[in-house]
Chains A and B, each alone.
Chain A
């Protein structure tokens, strides 16, 4: 079974600064997908960024980028120029692409990010 570990329960960053959230995972598969989801307070979960394991290039989405280290099974999220609206729970998640229609997301325990003035 796959496991996802987020070792930082809470983090804080000042507005306009950069912060990195850590995630490690465990799998025996070679092909899979990794995700970062954002869950603002009392609001629905939304996708921030996605990485395909077969791609060596790190994914980027505007201010969000990842550092994907496949050998180390590490998948960190970097948020540049942090904004107050980035305050949320961030979940790292794993999807095993081998399972086809049975694909499901396995989540980590989350990191609560607080952006301050």
Chain B
């Protein structure tokens, strides 16, 4: 079974530029998460999708971050314009909650490391 795929693995941009990250979850997983992991910290949830609907985006900086999951499968996370403090690893995770809505394991991708100069 293929895992969660993310791209690009690494991205370096200058502040005020834009960047987009892509995530392809495990086939059949309805729930998709984007987490931000700043160096030395634990991952912080940015946004959670259930199919193509947003469940929780309370910690997403909506003035510069946006995310979509139009067909309920792939998802993109965009930052525009980027700030220095956006330097982090952006983790995508998916979960199959068909059996139980809360007990399913989250499967993570390898992450996309962003450096903003």
Contacts and interface: CB of A to CB of B under 8 A. Distances in A.
Contact of A45 (B31, B44, B108): B108
Contacts of B108: 44-46
A11 interface: no
B55 interface: yes
Nearest to A109: B42
Interface in B93-112: 93, 97, 101-103, 105-106, 108-111
Interface residues of B, number: 26
Given A91-B43, A100-B101, A110-B42, A105 B110 contact: no
A45 B55 CA distance: 23
B48 A104 contact: yes
Contacts of A97: 102-103
> Which of the listed residues A43, A46, A47, A104 has the most CB atoms from chain B within 10 Å of its own CB?
A104
Contacts of B41: 109-110
Chain A interface bracket (under 10, 10 to 19, 20 to 34, 35 or more) = 20 to 34
A59 interface: no
Contacts of A56: none
Interface in A92-115: 93, 95-110
Interface of A: 4, 6, 33, 43-47, 50, 52, 91, 93, 95-110
Question: Which A-B residue pairs are the 9 nearest by beta carbons?
Answer: A107-B42, A97-B102, A45-B108, A103-B102, A100-B101, A44-B110, A109-B42, A101-B101, A102-B55
6 contacts: A44-B3, A44-B111, A50-B105, A95-B102, A103-B102, A105-B45
